[in-house]
Structure 1
């Protein structure tokens, strides 16, 4: 980050051209930018605020960025020599990518639904094969859907994001956890899960279907948020103005996504014989959605920490119930048993995932409302 004390000296009243000092320090950023907005976002990422811009005789960072952009010499022939810009797709290629972004997120939900249908029509060893094939197909579809579009991780962030295994833990608990916790409190289980909802260790497949179907609205909602945020960036005249205008867009996007997930849960309920409302699924969906939004924009630390803590808390809940069976350890399972008695087994994921989602949402309302968060990934520093 640029040393602001040095910038202050460069912007001192005695300096003949303070903006020239700033241009020298950020020449690479200014030369690579395709518009003044990218420079404004980059300056904010380096700690330059509207107050700092005033020391350079500008009312805000956006005005300062416009002067920096105008001062950088550019090749006027690049736009007229007949060659397309590196990141300007052809109409045909852009159309194919748009169709892919729209349709590919539907694939995980469709394959999950097909897998569940196959499970209901198979028995014995064939049922095990159908389950394994379904898990593999859905996993590959999820991988493909999350590698394109607004929820895709830029290359420079992929190596810093290691949340995949913890996300799998959360999904596994959504399927197996409630049944295990209920059976553990009752004194079981006496065997391994048999893949049915009425077995000794019952499974709940409704959350898995709802969450895989939710990949599509998550992708489309994230795209809407990115589009509106960049429009706000183009019309805002200050960093604080931009943050104030984007925050409602972020909250609206999360609310729209959760409303869509609630509708999907209600639609899946008659087919899977479950309740039409599932707060646990909504809490987990909100947690994964906000965590992905933050990760896509380069804020990888907070999502990783929250997902790890949430997964650990979910694993710890049934573990304390089993530990309470040891001599003299009966008090260990008391908090989880009390919570389950009051809210049912779903109380544990609602509390843990809800707390994690709320924490990340507060964090996102402070980070995703920065102009620097919306630099195009290939140009982010």
Structure 2
């Protein structure tokens, strides 16, 4: 889909590498540029038994890799030439003025340059500090838990990486029409702030409404985890039909109707299902507790009820997804790994490169002598 588009990525960790990989998996030629020995994420956990970073290999699938001495004039010249030749730069590198839009645009006026930063204005931040600033840990976790509860998913990094991919494509489309380049700044904090606003959290607070902690209940509707005889399931009733089917299959429809009458509630409405969630859950829970996962699955088949068992990563069926394919990942071995989740026809999982694997071919494409630069220590 993006064949012919070349992007130079100078990055580390999650947001920028994910943005680059998103484009690489759609066919773009994404060249990741690392300093000699690799950037700060080259050994980031989790690790394979060999010590290879599973984060690094996971975030760089389908890219080409070159390693350059950022401290030498020759190395910086290589990166500058590479960036200006490609015309599109994605980076979260800080403190390197020679990689700035202003510096690179002198050599390529129509440059598209996207800089991921922590706070607007360049202040440092990472996903986990932004998440703390944004208030989500204060409304996550059990209702009676006093301390904040952070989560393991770097949601803001993920959203930021996807925003970065969209931003580069939008800027490249404009350039193809007008010939104009673009300087784009994408603060991680603003990604989180925008998302909190779009989901209504900020408006809720401005209107003086304090979001409560509700544990595993679905806020504003009916949903909760239930124990079963051999595990645990998450059950969600987003609509009246979902809830009606749930009540019928669990045999509590008449009791729930009587409860609604006694409470003066209308359980066809999300808000009333949420307000009386604990009473409703108490009626439904015994049905799940008396059944195994297999029995629950059989009973809920053909209903509108939304549900799923809780699983560990190792319990996920990797053979059941057309998105996953077998790859031989250098430093790791044989893996089932994802291609792009965007299914537009043919797609295939591609491994990440070895660090610096394409250094010579990339230099040759710029008309540079790899042996000469290697002798000077400018490249690995």
How would you bin the TM-score normalised by the shorter chain?
under 0.3
Determine which structure has the larger helix proportion and give its number: 1
Determine which structure has the larger strand proportion and give its number: 2
